[in-house]
Amino acid sequence: MKMSLAKEHVNIIITGVGGQGNVMASRVLAGMLVSAGYVVTIGETFGMSQRGGSVMSHLRVSSTSVLSPQIPQGMADIIIALEPVEALRVLVRYGNPDVAVLSNSRVVYPMGVITGDFTYPSLDEIKSAFKKLTAKNWLIDATAVAVDLGNPVLSNIVMIGALAGTALLPIDRRAFEKEITRSMSADKRGINMTAFDAGMKML
């Protein structure tokens, strides 16, 4: 049975901090959706722009057409954030009353916060912003789970597992397994599968 998209086009933004595995998460998710028969357009920037800065991948999923690699403002349907302040950064630009946000709660302080020039919002402020700016939201400590699994880098896959758990998109465990069989070396699949399952269980 083929699951389906909630709308004709679905706009997804995956965001985080350079080095958190944003690009890999977007590739894995896109691969699953292409296998499911959708036309996917991914827009992302990498290179020097990822050195510790904010990063974003725009995924546009359509049953029919190629879309612009950049999502217009206020038009995100789903935001997946590997870092909570990055969720807010994307929300204020691409959010709308119907948006769903799945965010990692693990904080990565920007340099300006470490130096004391800026303040990082409190967890309550973040939660309240999510409440006001989203239709649905989930804040989970994916990094803690990844650290337990032995490598914080797995946070991105924990998040993809959690995304499958939200049932916002037509993706499941089998699709993930198929995708990593194609794209990952055999020695890495086991731990990624475990990370996916752990994420899915978090919801």
Partner 1 sequence: MNKLLSPAKTEVLLMGNEAIARGALEAGVSVATGYPGTPSSEVIENLAEVAQERNLYVEWSTNEKVALEVAAAASFAGLRSMCVMKQNGVNVASDFLLHLASSGTRGGIVLVTCEDPGALSSVNEGESRYFARMLEIPLLEPANFQEAKDLTKWAFELSEKIRNVVILRSVTRMSHASGNVICGRLPEKSRTARFVSDGSFMDPLKGPVVSTPVVAKHNLQQKKLQEAAKLFEKIPFNNYSGPRRPELLIITSSACFLYSNEAVSMLGLQKRVGILKLSCTWPLPPNLFKKYLRLTDKIMIVEEVLPFLEENIKVMAMGMLKETGIKTFYGKMDKTLPSVGELNPDLVAAALGRIMKVKYKSLPAGYKKEIQKVAPLIPPREQTFCPGCPHRASFWNINTALKLDGREGIVCGDIGCYAMAALFPAIGFNTVRTLHSMGSGTGLASGFAKLEAFGLDKPVLALCGDSTFYHAVIPALINAQHNRADITFIVLDNAGTAMTGFQPHPGLAISTMGEAVPAVDIAKICVAIGAKVAISDPFDLEGTSKIMTSFMAERGSLKVLILRQICALSPEKKGKKKYLMQVKEELCLGENCGCNRLCTRIFRCPALTWDMAKKKALIDEVICAGCGVCYSICPQKAITRTEATG
Binding site for partner 1 (CB under 8 A): 17-19, 27, 30-31, 34, 39-49, 51-54, 66-74, 85-86, 88-89, 91-92, 95-97, 106, 108-116, 118-121, 125, 129, 132-133, 143, 147, 151-153
Helices 22-35 and 173-183: angle between axes, nearest 10 degrees: 110
Tell me the sheet residues that pair with 100.
78, 136
Phi and psi at 185, nearest 5°, equal -70, 150
Q: In this complex, which beta carbon is closest to partner 1, that of residue 4 or of residue 70?
A: 70
**Which residue matches tokens 């337990």?**
148
Smallest gap, in angstroms, from Cβ of residue 124 to partner 1?
11
Q: In this complex, which beta carbon is closest to partner 1, that of residue 4 or of residue 183?
A: 183
Beta strand 39-44 with 54-62: parallel, antiparallel or unpaired? antiparallel
Smallest gap, in angstroms, from Cβ of residue 173 to partner 1?
20
Question: How wide is the angle at C-alpha 21 spanned by C-alphas 18 and 26, nearest 5°?
Answer: 110
Q: In this complex, which beta carbon is closest to partner 1, that of residue 132 or of residue 173?
A: 132
Smallest gap, in angstroms, from Cβ of residue 23 to partner 1?
9
For 41, 87, 99, 179, the CA distances from 31, given in Å and listed in that order, are: 11, 23, 23, 6
Q: In this complex, which beta carbon is closest to partner 1, that of residue 57 or of residue 168?
A: 57
Smallest gap, in angstroms, from Cβ of residue 191 to partner 1?
13
